[in-house]
Structure 1
């Protein structure tokens, strides 16, 4: 082995070794005992075995078929463990324990049966490429399922109005890390086969840094997330939405420049996270967007009524804290500035 080979082996294998240690910790020693810890341990174990197989196969092409098949078995579990882990964190009150048992048993029975009937060593032409492609497409399928499960989190990220909390950053990192590793293996023919192992080492230490520098480490791994942990019936969501509309239309709550999610939830006598979930999941918007729509509509009505207020005064009267906030939100929602809207209104061009 050259020095280059030694360094490549060391850094690519380091992640797999530490991943195995972490998987043992989460599977057997982490406290409090929670299903999410077991699923995270399973995810790390599957990834570590898959990565470890890649590292050894890169340097030992004559590696026993038993090890090669074990690595592919592990690969078949990566997607399910990731999807179930995300489910267990976002919906801790769901029946995840029973669901995970049946889910993983079905996955194990399927790939175990294929391996028993068609062992890799005697059916190389079947495994390469057909069964291996099946494994990667199955992993991709779970990445897609995980993406849709994480949609509320991505909405918060893309909205830019609300900041991601530590739990959301953690879950997005897990998802993106898995996506990058999948891509590295699936497109290995266009690059380096060992890239997946390097990426795993990189993301493993990135996750460790996220945990190390987070003051609320347990909130990432154990805490029930209040933001998405309940499934709200459509009828209940509609009732709460109607009550919120009434607060805006009858009490003109949007005119309060200090209005926030906390105050609105208090008026409705529901938890803050429940109102946020209803707005995101059932109306497809953040609380700030919802309130600003009322404020902009009110501002347009004041312009039509020719109240004598200046544009800046109209903004303050409708609940905006500053002139710049009023102008930026008005243009965002109408594609016009307040002054151009007012001019068009006077010419009879705007309804």
Structure 2
């Protein structure tokens, strides 16, 4: 193969390989924990086998004739898998898996009978076998689209948002292979494989994007507009003060909101809400107040440490941050605060008169 053909072969087959792995994962790892995922895995598995075999036979035409028909045989189940994927996604708990199993059993017998005819009359059924497979695929594509629109109107609960991208992708792959099989467009067989690869990666990106958004929305909406009850807030505040006083967590210059929430055994959202709504302070303000109070105590007690050393001792990671925070909270500088703690000689003398 030339370099261009090698690149086409690589990009055509890589999607089939990844689809095969994902299909095996959904079928045999997740098993029947989520029925729509099972049928999605079957769709990916059958399409991947078909795509992989079609690419290989295109670039290596000397393979035995039975191999392309194995790819067509796997494609026979793609349409039914899509149909039951749509139904199970909408019906969920009401979906009857036993009926779907019986349907697949009947379809397997039909495929076996047609395959037997092909073995007995190979010349007659050489083209008819492909027509039969594509005919079944066409029927179930139309049934899947029909079920989607009917069930989306009938079923009250909102279905998973990933159904439509899966359905649309299967329709696009179906159209790509149909147009190539009929000769309406002159594209080599790997074209359908490239379409499959692009749609596979596109759907994976859509899936993860939607999952990440849904997790973020759930986390944010869980605590938004929901004030912590007063009794619970008081318990949290007491626990927080005990932690700060006993363990002196504020002395850690790298302390983060998530670290403190972990110590509290609550979520970061709850801790942030507790500080902002119940104490009226941000996390940094709350921690810095403890640090400055500690610094003031050291200055009042006549600590032998230098001013900047006191800042490091109470948890600040720089002299400038300590000075600016001290002035913000105490409305004076550490040095002036220290000088204010020294009793004047005049005051001492007057007290002894």
Q: TM-score range by the shorter chain?
A: 0.5 to 0.7
Distance 1:3 1:81 in 2: 37
Alpha-carbon deviation of 1:166? Answer: 8.3
CA contact (8 A) 1:184 1:196 kept: yes
- Which string of whole-angstrom CA distances, capped at 9 and with x for unpartnered residues, describes residues 128-156 of structure 1? 1x221121121111111111111157779
Alpha-carbon deviation of 1:94? Answer: 2.6
Relative distance call for 1:97 and 1:195 in structure 2 (3 A) is same
Structure 2 unaligned regions, length at least 5: 216-353
SS of alignment partner, residue 191 of structure 1: coil
> Is 1:19 aligned to residue 12 of structure 2?
no
Pick aligned residue for 1:184 from 176, 179, 196: 176
Task: Show the 5 A alignment for 1:65-84.
Answer: 65-84=65-84
Pick aligned residue for 2:141 from 137, 140, 143: 143
Distance 1:218 1:123 in 2: 53
- Which string of whole-angstrom CA distances, capped at 9 and with x for unpartnered residues, describes residues 81-109 of structure 1? 00011111101133431111011111111
Pick aligned residue for 1:206 from 202, 208, 214: 202
Distance 2:164 2:83 in 1: 12
Larger radius of gyration: 2
Q: Which residue of 1 aligns with 2:192?
A: 196
- Which string of whole-angstrom CA distances, capped at 9 and with x for unpartnered residues, describes residues 222-242 of structure 1? xxxxxxxxxxxxxxxxxxxxx
Relative distance call for 1:63 and 1:36 in structure 2 (3 A) is same
Q: Which residue of 2 aligns with 1:134?
A: 132
Q: Which residue of 1 aligns with 2:4?
A: 4
TM-score, scaled relative to structure 2: 0.55
Task: Show the 5 A alignment for 1:192-341.
Answer: 192=187, 193-215=189-211
CA contact (8 A) 2:32 2:38 kept: no
* CA RMSD across the alignment: 2.6
CA contact (8 A) 1:12 1:55 kept: yes
**Comparing both chains, which one has the higher relative contact order based on Cα–Cα distances under 8 Å and sequence gaps of 6 or more?**
1
> Is 1:167 aligned to residue 160 of structure 2?
yes
CA contact (8 A) 1:84 1:96 kept: no
CA contact (8 A) 1:87 1:149 kept: yes
Distance 1:31 1:112 in 2: 26
CA contact (8 A) 2:26 2:41 kept: yes
- Which string of whole-angstrom CA distances, capped at 9 and with x for unpartnered residues, describes residues 272-296 of structure 1? xxxxxxxxxxxxxxxxxxxxxxxxx
Distance 1:70 1:184 in 2: 20
Aligned length: 209
Alpha-carbon deviation of 1:34? Answer: 2.3
Distance 1:155 1:100 in 2: 22
- Which string of whole-angstrom CA distances, capped at 9 and with x for unpartnered residues, describes residues 291-325 of structure 1? xxxxxxxxxxxxxxxxxxxxxxxxxxxxxxxxxxx
Relative distance call for 1:96 and 1:217 in structure 2 (3 A) is farther
Relative distance call for 1:148 and 1:126 in structure 2 (3 A) is same
Distance 1:127 1:181 in 2: 23
Alpha-carbon deviation of 1:172? Answer: 1.3
Distance 1:89 1:126 in 2: 37
Relative distance call for 1:111 and 1:2 in structure 2 (3 A) is same
Distance 2:147 2:214 in 1: 22
Distance 1:114 1:196 in 2: 25
Deviates more, 1:143-152 or 1:208-217: 208-217
